[in-house]
Structure 1
Amino acid sequence: MQAIPISNIAVDVKGIPMRINVLQHTPNEGPGMIQDWSQKHGHEMYIYHPYQFGHLPKASDTDMLVILGGPMSPNDELEWIKQERVLIQELIAQDKPIFGVCYGAQQIVKTLGYQVTKAPAKEVGWAPVYRRDVKYLEIPEELRVLHWHEEMFEIPKEAQLLFSSDAVENQGFIMNHRMVGLQFHLEPKDDNVREMVVNDFPYIKGSVLNQTADDILKEKVSDDNRNTLYKLLDYINE
């Protein structure tokens, strides 16, 4: 197979294109509005499916890494999961921006040597999260977001707690102006939410949020979610 040419272009969110490599871990949890943000800035996005094909990008070919959610756990003993953490570690050492969602945020934490454990409550559906000690980001104090998880991450001591929910304290972190991890989902658009629900609706059972598939489908993604996502992506690329 002929190698895909890589542009050696500096990372800069202000008009200079980056190569954004995305690790997607299930067909129904794609980049959503992260892809919209990428296109808005003229970046090039490459989406990898390591759970299916086993391929990962090289750190040298990555200007920014996005690690999406999935049904697996960082605690699973799968070789490709371990190799993802090798890539994350290399990018941390190179001070490149990393954005993790749900399982992706857990993978960052696991790479840093902290724990991923069972959450005190399974959260599936729409519920608020509350901004913590990051007023400098000028993001809303409260957001109503989509949750789809039953594990949670420990907050690294080097990081700031970014968000909490009523049921789970550790909902987000920010670290070194280069990394953001979110336990919940800001990235889905309305069509993406429908895709998650129609394919993974059995997972809704047992959630502390007590919502049905229809309840989840009735709610629309807010502009605040998109704007907050964009601000976080801009921030780690400044």
Structure 2
Amino acid sequence: MRVNILQHTPNEGPGSIQTWAKSHGHEVFIYHPYQFGYLPTADETDFLVILGGPISPNDNLPWIEAERGLVQELLDRDVPIFGACYGAQMIAKVLGYRVLKAPAKEVGWAPVYRQTTAIPGLPDQLTALHWHEDMFELPAEADLLFASDAVKNQGFVLGHRVVGLQFHFEPQADNVREMVVNDFPYIEGSVLGQSAQAIIDAGVPAENEGVMFTILDFLVEGL
């Protein structure tokens, strides 16, 4: 299986998603459209991962418009898609729903609560890394997957092939440090009230990698 990953900023990489792909023997191709402008075609995509970034799906940049086209084509083909943060927003945008300011800016660690059993094996509550102030409007055709105390729309699952999460399960310890040391000014104004050092010192919950694997396994089940 060819797993195409769209990365949108240097400091938000695939983390445990790449670990999952390697553990299953999948080929991983990482694209940086914000820098180089290139995207895979739908024909060469068996699984699309859309990572986070400082941009918005509402931005009318040429490469973002091209991404919308790719996501639409893959949705039409029922190809598995996973989106994190901006990625979840992009999927919702392509489906015809709004991306708008969230009720609160969340940057740091905070619990999320499972809202559906559509994906078997997910715990009722997990601690996730949040790094956002926008959110997606929940697609009517999707199930709400996770909610947090500050922002209800934290994740959705659409059928058996699409999952979008407003937060991050994929970062490993090195990824968290990379996000913080390069983007620490963004922490200011977060409702979570955590310092840069506190976010690093908290550590990545041990169960997060397994949960990420469970979600990705669900998306490719039966292929």
Which TM-score tier does this pair reach, normalised by the shorter chain?
A: over 0.9
- Where does the alignment leave 5 or more consecutive residues of structure 2 unmatched? none
Question: 1:51 corresponds to which residue?
Answer: 34
Question: 1:189 corresponds to which residue?
Answer: 172
Instruction: Say yes or no: does 1:162 pair with 2:132.
Output: no
From 43, 46, 54, the equivalent of 1:71 is: 54
Q: Is the contact between residue 140 and residue 224 of structure 1 (CA under 8 Å) also seen in structure 2?
A: no
Question: 2:204 corresponds to which residue?
Answer: 221
Question: 2:107 corresponds to which residue?
Answer: 124
What letter is aligned with 1:186? F
1:136/1:30 CA distance change after superposition, 3 Å: closer
Counterpart Cα distance in 1 of 2:204 and 2:192:
17
Question: 1:104 corresponds to which residue?
Answer: 87
Deviation at 1:223?
2.1
Which aligned segments of 4 or more residues in structure 1 are displaced greater than 3 angstroms? none
1:135/1:79 CA distance change after superposition, 3 Å: closer
Deviation at 1:127?
0.3
Q: Is the contact between residue 119 and residue 215 of structure 2 (CA under 8 Å) also seen in structure 1?
A: no
Instruction: Say yes or no: does 1:62 pair with 2:45.
Output: yes
Question: 1:233 corresponds to which residue?
Answer: 216
Q: Output the TM-score relative to the length of structure 1.
A: 0.92
Deviation at 1:43?
0.3
Counterpart Cα distance in 2 of 1:44 and 1:204:
35
Deviation at 1:213?
0.3
Deviation at 1:134?
1.8
1:93/1:136 CA distance change after superposition, 3 Å: closer
Q: Secondary structure at the match of 1:137?
A: coil
Counterpart Cα distance in 2 of 1:121 and 1:182:
16
From 5, 11, 14, the equivalent of 1:31 is: 14
- 1:162-219: CA deviation from partner (whole Å, max 9, x where unpaired): 0000000000000010000000000000000000000000000000000000110101
| Aligned CA-pair RMSD | 0.7
Counterpart Cα distance in 1 of 2:214 and 2:116:
16
Counterpart Cα distance in 2 of 1:77 and 1:95:
26
From the CA coordinates, give the structure whose radius of gyration is larger.
Answer: 1
Counterpart Cα distance in 2 of 1:206 and 1:223:
28
What letter is aligned with 1:38? A
Counterpart Cα distance in 2 of 1:162 and 1:67:
18
Counterpart Cα distance in 1 of 2:205 and 2:193:
21
Deviation at 1:38?
0.2
Instruction: Say yes or no: does 1:94 pair with 2:80.
Output: no
Q: Secondary structure at the match of 1:56?
A: coil
- 1:68-123: CA deviation from partner (whole Å, max 9, x where unpaired): 00000111111111110100011011111000000000000000000000000000
What letter is aligned with 1:156? P
* Residue correspondences, number: 221
Question: 2:162 corresponds to which residue?
Answer: 179
Identity %: 65
